[in-house]
Amino acid sequence: MKFKLLSTLALAAVAAVQCAPKNDIIADNVKNAAVQLKSLVEASEAGDTVRIPSTFKNGEIEYVPTDDWVSGFFPGTLWYMYELTGDEYWADHARKHTEILDSIQYLTWHHDVGFMIYDSYGNGLRLKHIDGYKDVIVNTAKSLSTRFRPKAGVLQSWNTDRGWQAERGWKCPVIIDNMMNLELLFKATEFSGDSTYAKIAISHADKTMENHYRPDYSTYHVVDYDDETGAVRGRYTAQGYADESAWARGQAWSIYGFTMAYRFTSDKKYLERAENVAGYLFSNPNMPEDLVPYWDFDCPDIPNTYRDASSAAIIASALYELNWHTGKAEYKEKADKIIESLSSPAYRAAQGTNGGFILMHSVGSLPHGSSIDVPLNYADYYFLEALIRKGNIEKGIAPVTK
């Protein structure tokens, strides 16, 4: 009897040791993130303004205005720290950084308001049920819906009358990234009871499935539509190596976007598309062993070119959700591998460095010479999101609440 008890205890001890690294990777990352992000909070709140940190270059933190597409990620990162720690410090600062985005609910000149408002107000609402946040989300959905082009059945991503987009001759460019804005539309229908937003989201997802993909399930970055006839005018890249190449972050938005569309619709074709994208990613000979992609899967300079940690973090987060919907262990195994890689000194900055950002080595837009091999606030956002999803799955609960 005594022997049996001792051997049971010994087995339990062995099991605990075997489990330890798995569980500790989340705790260790949260501890590290707390140190890094506190310094970033302090820097961004120095003086009497609240600024939005986006990256760190040449020894300086760069800040963006509220209408920049990345403005929601830092508040979202702080909300995730609150979710991971329960420490009100993070909620207080998250709220401060969220509410400076108030005017974005009326922004109509680009499509990224889903990222901007859902990652900030959406997370704040989910975690703290703050009065008025639902209205901001519904107003934002209204603004985003002004970009719906009924003949083409899509939301127009970019305007064509300004910046470098004006030089491309496009009429109604839609980028794969736009799938990410659908989450806000689905939630707005839930909050308002107005089905218009979800219908737009479904139409956009269906058209994207139809027109953005190659036979191998890699995605184009840009599809230009004729908004008067609905016809596809051409397929291009903006941030990738070439029109026919597979820009890494585009593939990341693609797997995340269709997994999320399945969450809201239970439509199996979206899940199947996400699985097909996973198939493309993990059978790609240019996917490195550590599963942190090069910035473009078809860059001819591989392996002598940049990795993009942001793509890896987005893919990991999507894979945890895909694992939950499909029950396929391989997706969690791949996501865990990515998290392990990103948590290593190869990608995770030493404390007190990197301007307070967590991850190094992301690429914003190489063709535009912008933000190459630097930290990016969205890499950190999706990294923390992936850790939350991992932790939830390991507790046997849904990685993401609808």
Question: Of the two residues 111 and 389, which places its CB atom closer to ligand GLY in the complex?
Answer: 111
Rounded CA-CA distance 305/308 in Å is 10
Under rule CB under 6 A, residue 336 binds ligand GLY: no
Active-site position among 112, 119, 224, 296: 112
Site track for ligand GLY across 208-247, x = CB under 6 A: -------------------------------x--------
Question: Of the two residues 74 and 82, which places its CB atom closer to ligand GLY in the complex?
Answer: 74
- Which residue from 83, 98, 153, 177 is in contact with ligand GLY, where contact means CB under 6 A? 177
CB of 203 to ligand GLY, least distance (A): 21
CB 200 within 8 A of CB 189: no
CB of 311 to ligand GLY, least distance (A): 9
Under rule CB under 6 A, residue 156 binds ligand GLY: no
Structure token digits, residue 295: 């910035």
Give the nearest residue (CB) to ligand GLY.
177
44-73: contacts with ligand GLY (CB under 6 A): 69
Rounded CA-CA distance 45/41 in Å is 6
CB of 365 to ligand GLY, least distance (A): 6
- Which residue from 95, 221, 249, 334 is in contact with ligand GLY, where contact means CB under 6 A? 249
Under rule CB under 6 A, residue 254 binds ligand GLY: no
Active-site position among 119, 177, 308, 380: 177
Is 131 annotated as catalytic?
A: no
CB of 371 to ligand GLY, least distance (A): 9
Under rule CB under 6 A, residue 251 binds ligand GLY: no
Question: Of the two residues 84 and 312, which places its CB atom closer to ligand GLY in the complex?
Answer: 312
CB of 80 to ligand GLY, least distance (A): 19
Q: CA gyration radius for the chain?
A: 21
Question: Of the two residues 184 and 271, which places its CB atom closer to ligand GLY in the complex?
Answer: 184
Rounded CA-CA distance 252/325 in Å is 18
Quick one: which of 237, 328, 334 has its CA closest to 283?
334
Rounded CA-CA distance 313/359 in Å is 10
Question: Of the two residues 56 and 158, which places its CB atom closer to ligand GLY in the complex?
Answer: 158
Q: Does residue 108 come out as left (phi exceeding 0), alpha (psi in the -120 to 50 range) or beta?
A: alpha
Under rule CB under 6 A, residue 380 binds ligand GLY: no
Is 216 annotated as catalytic?
A: no
CB of 197 to ligand GLY, least distance (A): 21
Instruction: Kindly list the catalytic residues.
Output: 112, 177
Which residues contact ligand GLY (rule: CB under 6 A)?
69, 177, 239, 249
